[in-house]
């Protein structure tokens, strides 16, 4: 994986540090609110292009002052505004040292404290103009050509930190750093970043977001299978679809993984998985003929590799596949073929002495001989 990291870092240095940032707004009480952080305090503001400034109610301003999110030095003075009846009111003007929105950071943002204790939090032009060109796309606030707050060198360091956290299974921290990379580069992000984010979300049991990340990675890859990405992504998607009992999509993903497998040895496990799915996953209507076809493909490769030192794991895999195939032949009432296949497995297992296989084979052989006896 180290060469992938190196390639990605080179790609980062070639890209402009400018991108489209999409921020999901949350609908509350009939209005859309933008999640922000003000001096480290997480708040939700109504996006209001008609407001000149960021507006904060007296209640929030008092709370921020009492809890250290505002300091006395942040209070800058008083301004006047005209309300609906035409009269003027005084507002306290404050300086927000740091406002963070969608991974973008703005410093020294002017805001006014509205005297009404129940006044809504408004995100006005004092922030919007500094973000650049913005638009609304459904539930998303889109910031076009947003300038990234990080230099290329800082992004390189952030990416390496993400990789370190990922390798040590510190998934929430890895996600934090990967998100910075993704927000900085948008759809120019290398698909591996989204793949890694998907793995982190899976480990954190957020399976739907994991699926979205992997599907986006596939979309960004555009079928190029850069550095074997698609071969890795599709089996994981298959697992995620299986969690939702989406069996057809699971099978489709396994077959696509097979398409992108780099060599025959990598195909074996996929052939076995697909064969098993055909014989068991559709319990109401198993497809034993397709199951046999895929088991035979796996056996063909394993028997060929056996001539070139299959290795202990490969030998166990071959015994297991013989057992799977024999069981499928039983289901098709091809008992003589099943017996022949079980005996192949037994012959190999004499060297391995795997008890679970021995039990399975003895039962299978007993059942097959009993069925043949009943025929006569």
DSSP string, 250-311: HHHHHHHHHHH-SSHHHHHHHHHHHHHHHHHTSTTS--HHHHHHHHHHHHHHHHHHHTTT-H
In the chain, domain spans? 1-17+150-225, 30-133, 286-376
- Which CATH number, 1.20.1300, 3.40.50, 1.25.40, 3.30.70, labels domain 286-376? 1.25.40
- What is residue 23's predicted lDDT score, i.e. its pLDDT? 83
According to CATH, the topology of domain 1-17+150-225 is 1.25.40
pTM, entire model: 0.61
- What is residue 5's predicted lDDT score, i.e. its pLDDT? 44
- What is residue 2's predicted lDDT score, i.e. its pLDDT? 43
- What is residue 88's predicted lDDT score, i.e. its pLDDT? 57
- What is residue 19's predicted lDDT score, i.e. its pLDDT? 55
Q: What is the CATH number of domain 30-133?
A: 2.40.70.10
Summarised one tens digit per residue, pLDDT across range 102-155 is 777 788 888 888 877 677 888 887 777 777 677 888 888 887 655 556 677 888
Number of residues that make up the chain = 376
- What is residue 186's predicted lDDT score, i.e. its pLDDT? 67
What span, in angstroms and rounded, lies between the C-alpha atoms of 268 and 277? Answer: 14
What span, in angstroms and rounded, lies between the C-alpha atoms of 291 and 275? Answer: 4
List of the chain residues with pLDDT < 50: 1-18, 82-86
């Amino acid at each position: 994986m180290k060469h992938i990291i190196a390639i990605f870092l080179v790609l980062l240095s070639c890209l402009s540090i400018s991108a489209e940032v999409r921020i999901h707004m949350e609908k509350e009480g009939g209005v859309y609110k933008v999640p922000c952080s003000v001096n480290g305090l997480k708040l939700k503001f109504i996006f209001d292009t008609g407001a000149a400034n960021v507006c904060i109610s007296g209640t929030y301003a008092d709370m921020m002052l009492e809890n250290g999110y505002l300091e006395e030095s942040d209070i800058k003075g008083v301004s006047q505004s005209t309300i609906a009846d035409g009269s003027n009111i005084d507002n306290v003007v404050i300086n927000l040292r740091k406002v963070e929105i969608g991974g973008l950071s703005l410093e020294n943002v002017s805001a006014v404290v509205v005297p009404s204790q129940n006044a809504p939090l408004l995100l006005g032009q004092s922030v919007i103009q500094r973000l650049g060109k913005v638009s609304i796309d459904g539930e998303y606030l889109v910031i076009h050509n947003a300038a990234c707050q990080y230099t290329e060198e800082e992004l390189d360091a952030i990416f390496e930190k993400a990789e370190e956290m990922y390798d040590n299974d510190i998934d929430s921290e890895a996600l934090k750093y990967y998100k910075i990379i993704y927000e900085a580069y948008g759809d120019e992000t290398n698909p591996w970043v989204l793949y890694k984010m998907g793995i982190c979300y899976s480990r954190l049991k957020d399976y739907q977001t994991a699926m979205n990340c992997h599907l986006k990675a596939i979309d960004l890859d555009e079928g190029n299978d850069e550095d074997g990405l698609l071969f890795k992504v599709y089996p994981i998607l298959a697992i995620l679809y299986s969690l939702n009992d989406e069996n057809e999509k699971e099978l489709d993903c396994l077959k696509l993984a097979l398409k992108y497998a780099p060599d025959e040895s990598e195909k074996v496990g996929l052939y076995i998985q697909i064969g098993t799915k055909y014989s068991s996953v559709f319990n109401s209507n198993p497809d034993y003929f397709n199951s046999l076809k895929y088991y035979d493909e796996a056996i063909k490769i394993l028997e060929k590799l056996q001539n070139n030192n299959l290795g202990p794991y490969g030998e166990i895999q071959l015994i297991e596949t013989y057992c799977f195939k024999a069981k499928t032949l039983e289901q098709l009432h091809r008992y003589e073929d099943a017996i022949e296949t079980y005996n192949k497995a037994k012959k190999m297992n004499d060297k391995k002495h795997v008890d679970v296989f021995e039990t399975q084979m003895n039962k299978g052989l007993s059942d097959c001989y009993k069925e043949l006896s009943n025929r006569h």
